[in-house]
Amino acid sequence: MTACAVALDPVQADAYAPALEQFNSIISHLRSTGSMTHSELEQFLNVDGREMLRRIFQGYLDERGPGAVAEPVVDADEQKHTHQRLHSRSLTTIFGEVDVNRQGYGGRGLESLHPLDAELNLPPESYSHTLQRQIACATAKESFDEVVISIRDQTGVTVPKRQVEEAARRASRDFELFYAQQRSANAREVNKTGPILAITVDGKGVPMRKADLREATRKAAEERKPRLQHRRSPGEKSKTKRMSTVAAVYTIEPFVRTPEQIVRELAPVHEAPPPRPQPEDKRVWASVKHPPEKIINQAFEEAERRDPKHTKEWIALVDGNETQLDFLRLAAKDYGVELVIILDLIHVLEYLWKAAWAFHGIGGIGGIGGIGGVGGVGGAEAESWVTQRLAEILRGRSSLVAAGMRRSATLRGLSDSERAPIDDCADYLLKYREFLHYDRYLAKGYPIATGVIEGACRYLVKDRMEKTGARWGLEGAEAVLRLRSLRASGDFDEYWDFHLQQEYKRNHEARYEKGQVPLPNPAPKSKAKASRLRLVK
């Protein structure tokens, strides 16, 4: 079998000689060593092969040359850099550390400029962008301590924990600009997605260091007097969390159902529901740094980008938080949209079950999140009670249900403490009755539960931010939430390309006159022979 290989000229051969030497060393070792298991072979190639790739990387930089330029080097302040000096810096890549020799242009009192840095888009930090990308991806999934181990196992490079945290913050710095430029670009094709445009918002606490708590929470933490020495007593709050705001925007096809179908779906043994449409083009994100009103405005900006002419049906799924409701109404008014606000059905069910146990005996927390309760006579009666009232609420009769349960409590002669859960449920149904028109929502095929945002709260915040013993600083927490949001929304790859463009602009383009970076001269080549191909047998 024959193949054609490129014959390297002397300059190229010298640059890549260390890599060729390592390659030959690997082949010699494989030919001379005894039998290896596949695991031993993998481990050997992982270490020695990575060293060969590092030498190839170094060879490419050496062959490329220092990037001298012929045209004048002028900085952003229009000062000419006439003094030339060769500078060297290190760059830690996913293969290991390499040296970059580049021509520096300076002057008295001037910071040197390096055109080759711009051409290579080198970061000011010692870690390459590809290594920083791996750190960002790992940080979105694991604790900082675990990231240190993961990066070392994957690349052989040891990045200290503090550097991991700083890399995560740098990696997330263009998050808001990325989505802002998406909003300013052409809107997506409206007809390609479902006619229902859903906005949903919720809150989730993040355990913070005391210095990064909001002022009111910090004062409460300082004034807190624990009742027990080594643990919190029931109902006692730790006062160590700062509330993050989680948002989701998506489109979806209508899914028309009847109240009876919903009741059967929530029953302990239920018939399999028909396939339901899935959320389309879902974007989820969270912020512990920005107030709820800003996140809600961002949600409306995202919705506006998807439906600039307001041809879709805009809905908002909520859990009853008054602050969120106020901001949703204000944003809808500002954007000139008719927003249908829907109260999450699962929250209604929780109140119904508490009222049911007040009527039919204390049965614990059976049935929260569904109709199914606990066994026994009381459990069966409570389940039947919840089923009947849920069906009526789904038919749009929440006010009648509230009035009926209050009359029943009075007729039974329940004391104030015994009927408290019943009055709470009735108050809840009456307070939010304008958001409980489930008969209309089901007829139009709207979603009536906040499963999307509940899942986002769990994934974005709880699974990563509430690891045992975690206490976050504000900037570190915000960076991790941004990275997790990008991954959950499927935007990370596109974001990283955008991030690299912004890195070039701020680290290189912004330092030169009119943003024009002088182009380095081509690397010198020695005279090549007539033919640069030779036959290899």
pLDDT in tens, 358-396: 998 754 444 445 555 444 446 788 999 999 999 999 999
**Strands 533-536, 280-287: parallel, antiparallel or unpaired by DSSP?**
unpaired
Same domain? 215 vs 247: yes
Q: What are the CA-CA distances from residue 156 to residues 29, 57, 131, 496 (Å)?
A: 21, 16, 11, 23
Element (H, E) at 198: strand 196-207
pLDDT at 60 over 50: yes
What pLDDT does residue 534 have?
41
Lowest mean pLDDT among 54-68, 264-278, 305-319, 366-380: 366-380
What does the block give as tokens for 487?
Answer: 């991954």
Mean pLDDT of 286-315: 95
Least confident of 48-57, 71-80, 190-199: 190-199
Same domain as 339, residue 246 = yes
Structure token pair of residue 244: 């993050």
What pairing do the DSSP bridges indicate for beta strands 313-318 and 196-207? parallel
Please name the residue that has the structure tokens 């943003």.
515
What confidence tens digit (pLDDT) does each residue in 313-340 have? Answer: 999 999 999 999 999 999 999 999 999 9
- Quote the strand ranges of 19-115, DSSP E: 83-93, 96-107, 110-113
Same domain, 163 and 259: no
- Report which DSSP code applies to 208: B
pLDDT bin (cut points 50, 70, 90) of residue 12 is low
The candidate with the shortest Cα–Cα distance to 279, out of 481, 447, 448, 494, is: 447
Give per-residue burial for 424-446: e unless 16+ CB within 10 Å, then b.
ebbebbeebbebbebeebbeebb
Using the predicted structure, report yes or no on whether residue 498 has a pLDDT greater than 70. yes
Of 182-186, 219-223, 301-305, the poorest mean pLDDT is in: 219-223
d(CA 166, CA 164): 5
Range of the domain at 158: 83-169+490-515
Q: How many structural domains comprise the chain?
A: 3
Predicted TM-score of the model (pTM): 0.86
- Residue 303 shares a structural domain with residue 273: yes
464 and 321 assigned to the same domain: yes
**148 & 248 share domain:** no
Q: What is the 3-state secondary structure (H, E, C) of 138-161?
A: HHCCCCHHHHHHHHHHHHCCCCCH
Mean pLDDT of 471-476: 93
Same domain, 208 and 287: yes
Identify whether residues 478 and 500 lie together within a single domain.
no
Residue in 308, 274, 108 with CA at minimum distance from that of residue 190: 308
Burial class, 284, CB count within 10 angstroms (exposed 0-12 / middle 13-18 / buried 19+): buried
Pair (324, 395) in one structural domain: no
Q: Residues 116, 213: one domain? A: no
Same domain (yes/no): 475, 337 = yes
- The pLDDT value recorded for residue 14 is 87
Mean pLDDT on 394-402: 96
Task: Please state the rounded mean pLDDT for residues 289-315.
Answer: 95
State percent of the chain over pLDDT 70.
Answer: 85
Q: Is residue 128 part of a domain?
A: yes
- State what percent of residues in the chain have pLDDT above 90: 76
Q: Looking at residue 375, what is its pLDDT?
A: 47
In a domain? residue 268: yes
In this prediction, residue 524 carries a pLDDT of: 59
Beta carbons of 522 and 67 less than 8 angstroms apart: no
Establish if 42 belongs to a structural domain. no
Residue spans of alpha helices (H) in 33-159: 38-64, 115-120, 129-139, 144-155
Strand partners, 87: 102
Q: Tell whether 328 and 363 lie within a shared domain.
A: no
